Structure 1
Amino acid sequence: MNYLRSQLITLRNALVARRREERLNLMSQRGEAPCMVAFYHRVADTHPNGWSISRRGFRKHLDYFQRRFEPVSLSEVQRRVRESYSARPTITMTFDDGYQDNIEFALPLLIERKMPCTYFVSTAHVLDQKPFGHDIESGIALPINTAKQIREWSDAGIEMGCHTRNHVDFGKVHDPAERKQEIVDAKNELEQIIGKSVRHFAFPFGTEQQLTPEAIETVHQAGFEGYCSAFGGYNLVGRDAFHIRRFHGDPQFARLVNWCSYDEKKLQLEPELLMPESEANSHQASHANQTIAS
């Protein structure tokens, strides 16, 4: 069934390729090229599961990205969105959780190819070497990066980002003290590990259910420069630069290509988020400035 579905997506990609390519070229000419942000969890050839991709598959993704996009950092994505100008489609690599397998292949390859990457880790799992619950449930407690490894790869050029302390589901967190612990305290812990400022936060699970106004407000209060979701979406000029939209680096290559060829219909399917007061005020101020400038 998966093979048939992949073949159908491949056929559809071929049918719409020319129209989408023309659309991307037009957007680039207008300075409106989308900024793509892909997220991964684990690159490994052992213990395959729903949140892993093979080394061969990951290399194929990078080959495709480098042929078609300009690799940039998350901060550069935000700058282009905020300043409402992007002359070329871009790609940014991100990882969630902090699996030890990634230091054996994925991170060295990204550094070798000079592709910016933000690596989001859950600090309690790193400090306590505590396997993730979803791995325990699957029957294989996969190893987590150590604090020493996180520090070393930060020094090597991989940007470290915060992914809470305990990989919590904020849709189920209603205690302000727990939100502070999972966002503010986690940021402080990670900064102590790497000896640098941590700029970005990624929500575990990352759907609209987890992106509550209260959690987003706490991300603001913690001093982060932005947060990442994980329900898909494009970072387009003029949108809210504090919210970085990401799509899955899908092992089914046809589905990855479908995202990267820019499907306008996906914008219509993107969920609406309830904004916290601080973000609403920021959005209103940005809109007012654009109105004055025009």
Structure 2
Amino acid sequence: MSLPVTVGVDGSPESIAAAEWAAHESEIRGAPLLIVHADEWAGAALPGVGPDARCRRADELLAETAECVRRQHPALEIDTRQLAGPPATALAGAGAEADLLVLGSRGLSGLRGFLLGSVGMAAIVATPRPVVLVRVPGRSTVPASRSAVAGSSRDVVVGVDIDQYFDPLLDFGFHEAAGRGARLLALYGWSIPPVVRDASALVAAEREMGPDIARRLAADLRPWRLKFPSVDFVERSCVGGPAQLLLQAAENAELVVVGRRMRMGALGAHVGSVAHAVIHHCAVPVAVIAHE
């Protein structure tokens, strides 16, 4: 039996959007959907709210979410489960037993972008499995692209780095593109040496370095072209900050894929700066892929 697509819900609009996205993903993968709820009140001293009441609330939430999903996906195999323990730990544990963990991400107005929240971020860094973060449709701070408005096919965008191991990101991205009938865009952002000061020197440095970087990227990606010949695939290497380039590409994307190195820093596990920026500011679903 295939591993489930697992989605965490808490009754918020963001978690409902995540459940709907996860159901569609389950259908693409031919996998069951598992809807889970981690009680954020566990261990809290809330007057008049005991364990039995919290349990009933969780059961009702799970049943309502499952029913909502079944109306749109009547043939989908759906199960529900209450999770015990601290929410981040419980969600990470559920994600470790899933093919994919899906979470909602709430938006903030204006230029502040999107906020995932401490529970979601902690769950991301605690599980080695892919995690997808979903926004509520229509709450984008990024203007829709012309092709998106027209309803044409949109990209699966994968952020790659030719100086790092990015095979897990491409493996995830290509399977997503194949299942969705979408184009895959492999995007690499690179920088000009800081000694370059004036515009003419900048143009010259880009002209001299650009072709070699493009060749290196093409060589790294050639095996993936052969592995997924049916996927429409384009590669792009551009001068600029990787996070900003990914956010620009997201205007014509249905999914953005970024990496998270499985490493421990002084303050524990964390995501890198590029993944962090994309997670908090990208308006479309973001897949975070752990890799060495």
TM-score by length of 2: 0.29
TM-score by length of 1: 0.29
